[in-house]
Structure 1
């Protein structure tokens, strides 16, 4: 089982939309996928029409295997299950602060489903916290959506610097360009400059901006289910393929 985090320390970069569409794309490619929503807003579960879990409301998320696994829900799609979030997840840092070996607790919890899935995909909240450090330690790969703008580039630099300062392996970080608009000069220039600067830390695929992705909240489904020929769908499919090759 591989653990993949969809993470950004900046909001508004298409993190949850990416997590949902990547989970769907991997499942469509034959991978057994668990999408684990760690964001208390619970947007991933909302997109898949899965209600927030009422069973994981405290530190038992990290300690109670039976409660953890019983909170997993099936989706409407083959090979794809969801572990939905609830608002109590906002207290994860408080729970973790009470535990010994707090930075390895998430990985221990996920080991309970090791034989059931090929990929566990984590939809992470946009901050750097004790939970984030758990994610960094647990994940085999950290997918970071980057809008090709100055602020998004800056937060990518901050993430790499955090890994350096804390002795974390930067090879886990796989950035990819998200919501790219080829008609914007700034986007084109930023993509070129960042590819030159970061090389293999960036995947080859760039997912274009699409208004259809914004309609996911209306359809409550991955974009590939209602706009199959959309350019963003093709981008996510290529992203899934490249991710599997990297893994």
Structure 2
């Protein structure tokens, strides 16, 4: 059975999609059969992996256990497949709400896909939503990118409060600092002050780097195109820590 790893954030613009693409690519690089499920209607993860929006399955097909696997597409990268998304998925909340098992439909779909893969990585759209709750319930590991600002910190604690109030218990919740710019005093001060307050953070952070922003130009994960770049090395350091955690499940 595949291990389920979800990238999740209450707010957007925190480097979530770039992170999930590169981390999934690193797992595939190790020879594991990996699926990246793009559930964000923006379809950015699909774009990075050169999966055209028209190749995404229709919404009703996506939410059916018997047909979801038909939407999986290979990528240009060995061992890495994608279940692409596009703007049609803006209505996914309404379609999901109509299901009798609305709170657990994603978990059932993942059960149907798990036999084909070693790992399934999910790019979850931002916000506290029915879809997000589905993913949170289904994931073995939920990874939250946290930009070193007070607003991003606030959303981290909002998520923890939401999980407690809704009695949602993912296998494990963890975070990592994202888009870190050590030239900014706010980022440096945050890094030093909040490691104790947020013990769930991995001891690896992803820098703010132009090379990550440029991923859209060649539509290739940084860990493949610029493996020696400090940003790619940061992803690899984070991936090793994540892999160590997954090995304990």
Match of 2:38 in 1: 37
Q: CA deviation at 1:10?
A: 0.8
Tell me which residue corresponds to 1:225. 224
- Who is 2:211 aligned against? 212
CA shift, 1:212, in A, is 0.4
Aligned-residue offset at 1:191: 1.7
| TM-score with structure 1 setting the length | 0.95
- Name 2:71's counterpart in structure 1: 71
CA distance in structure 2 between the aligned counterparts of 1:153 and 1:82, rounded to whole angstroms: 31
Aligned residues of 1:35 and 1:123 also touching (Cα < 8 A):
yes
Q: 1:2 maps to which residue?
A: 3
Tell me whether 1:203 sits opposite 2:202 in the alignment: yes
Question: Any idea what the Cα deviations from partners look like across 1:125-173, whole Å, max 9, x if unmatched?
Answer: 1111110010110011111111101111111111111111112237621
Within-5 A mapping of 1:88-107 = 88-107=88-107
* 2:130 maps to 1:137: no
CA RMSD after TM alignment: 1.4
- Distance in 1 (alpha carbons) for counterparts of 2:179 and 2:74: 29
Distance 1:62 1:87 in 2: 16
> What's the CA shift string for 1:99-143, capped at 9, x where partnerless?
112111001111122121111000011111110010110011111
Counterpart of 1:59 in 2: which secondary structure?
Answer: helix
Q: 1:54 to 1:208 in 2, by over 3 A?
A: closer
- How far off is 1:232 after superposition? 0.9
| 1:48-80 superposed Cα distances (whole Å, 9 cap, x missing partner) | 111125563233312242x31111011111110
> What TM-score does the superposition give when structure 2 sets the normalisation length?
0.94
Contact in 1 for aligned 2:37/2:123 (Cα 8 Å): yes
The whole-number CA distance in structure 1 between the counterparts of 2:40 and 2:170 is 23
Give the 4+ runs in structure 1 shifted more than 3 A. Answer: none
**How many residues end up aligned between the 2 structures?**
245
Contact 1:3–1:121 (8 Å) recurs in 2: yes
SS at match of 1:206: coil
Q: Distance in 1 between matches of 2:94 and 2:141?
A: 25
Structure 2 gaps of 5+ residues are none
